[in-house]
Amino acid sequence: MKKPRFQTPSGMRDILSEELTYYQKIFDICQKMADFYGFERIETPILEQTELFSRGVGQATDIVKKEMFSFKTKGGDELTMRPEGTAPVARAYIEEGMRSRPQPVKLWYFGPFFRHEKPQRGRYRQFWQFGFEVLGEASPVIDAQIIQLFFNILGALKFKDLAVKINSIGCSTCRPRFKRILSSYLRNRASSLCSECRRRLKESSWRVLDCKEEKCQAVINNAPQMLDYLCEICHKHFKSVLEFLDELSIPYILEPHLVRGLDYYTKTVFEIVEMGKEGKSFGTLVGGGRYDNLVKILGGGVVPGCGGAAGVERIIEAMKERGVKVSSPSSPKIFLCQLGTLAKRKSLVLIERFQENKIPIAELLSKDSLRVQLERANKMGAKYVLIMGQKEALEDKIIIKDMATGRQKLVEIKKVINEIKKQLKK
């Protein structure tokens, strides 16, 4: 087949109805969970000032360096299509004066994000995330609750064998010393690192720990661990988070080299993965952590925060891989067939009465052939077919056909809604 003249940009896709039922299902579960845990929904703009991300996410991060869709507007503003949700939420917290509300402020979102990455399975340039953020509370119990919340959402989506990879990356008190020790360790082994990591060494040795290249793994695995250098406050915080996770019976794996690719994290960082057979992971479904400095970096004062975000496409792919089906919204059980001009006119009005009564009804008003209409009714598995021919239309009557038994009943048009209600109740 000839390729169409216009196609979606690389890494971006149309999401059709069947696929959207998965998005809807995930959204509905998020909404229920948000209501239970007292999170309010927020939707921030797709575009933000570029500096929000270069400052918030970090100048040296892969996201800011390589992956942002940024441009200058005709008015000269430097804007970026949001690559992640936490910095915009923190921006909104400051801009909307949420600091004057009772703390903590709990917010959640569900929407598209944009990163100029190499498109591959589970990695797109436009992808959807849902995220939950708690601002204005430093207690470790929040870190555990956030993880529990994502666990519950994935559990409701029938994920099993979930595990949390968790680490603490300290704070501005303890991290600088660790960074120096890590840098010197890595510099001494620069020749065993990939070219990208040798470059990273010059800017942010920290980023090397995030490298997925095979070549770097031996060096990373033997690298010093932040956990051994945590200050007392960070150490206590991390210990409490783990104790809360124990209390909640959430299985976790200590990942001493987990740093995550965003600069704003402090203390706890985590990822949730589903462990396949033989301990094989299907990729990271959720990522998050604590960001006690983010609001301050954005000029909003000292406001601790903690949250996470989940990749909707990854979740859907994992659901499909395991054969988890999502039922589409129930299709109408009734189909209306009409024959002749008068019947078409009366059917047009009758459909509105069904609409007012909130009874879904399908039809093919644009078609004249009864055969074509009945075929469609059969195809969609209608339970009842209403047939209005020329004779019935003249007499203000309509036939109700029960498709399971083949039995037919002639009723007055004005009584058909009540009759159908009665039938549907059975």
The contact set with ligand AMP (CB under 6 A) reads: 84, 115, 117, 122-124, 127, 129, 261, 284-287, 309-311, 313-314
CB of 309 to ligand AMP, least distance (A): 4
Pairing of β 361-363 and β 334-338: parallel
CB of 288 to ligand AMP, least distance (A): 7
Q: From edge to edge, which strands make up the β-sheet containing 105-114?
A: 40-41, 105-114, 126-135, 305-311, 281-290, 266-275, 162-168, 252-254
For the chain, counts of helices (H) and of strands (E): 15, 16
| Among 26, 37, 57, 152, CA closest to 106 | 37
Residue 309 or 420 with smaller CB distance to ligand AMP: 309
CB of 124 to ligand AMP, least distance (A): 4
CB of 366 to ligand AMP, least distance (A): 40
Residue 52 or 362 with smaller CB distance to ligand AMP: 52
CB of 117 to ligand AMP, least distance (A): 5
- Tell me if 133 sits within 8 A of 108, measured CB to CB: yes
Residue 20 or 380 with smaller CB distance to ligand AMP: 20
Determine the residue with CB nearest ligand AMP.
311
Provide the CA 271 distance to its chain's centre, in angstroms: 15
DSSP-based three-state secondary structure for 182: helix
Residue 48 or 313 with smaller CB distance to ligand AMP: 313
**Dist CA 144 CA 146 (whole Å):** 5
Identity (one letter) of the amino acid at 175? R
CB of 88 to ligand AMP, least distance (A): 12
C-beta atoms surrounding 342 within 10 Å: 15
Residue 291 or 335 with smaller CB distance to ligand AMP: 291
Q: What sign does the dihedral 291-244-287-175 (CA atoms) show?
A: positive
CB of 273 to ligand AMP, least distance (A): 9
Residue 52 or 231 with smaller CB distance to ligand AMP: 52
DSSP-based three-state secondary structure for 118: coil
Provide the CB-side half-sphere exposure for 227 (13 A, CA): 13
Residue 81 or 286 with smaller CB distance to ligand AMP: 286
DSSP-based three-state secondary structure for 306: strand
CB of 412 to ligand AMP, least distance (A): 56
Residues 6+ apart with CB under 8 A from 426: none
**Dist CA 235 CA 116 (whole Å):** 36
CB of 287 to ligand AMP, least distance (A): 3
Residue 91 or 346 with smaller CB distance to ligand AMP: 91
DSSP-based three-state secondary structure for 410: strand
Residue 213 or 402 with smaller CB distance to ligand AMP: 213
**Dist CA 235 CA 424 (whole Å):** 62
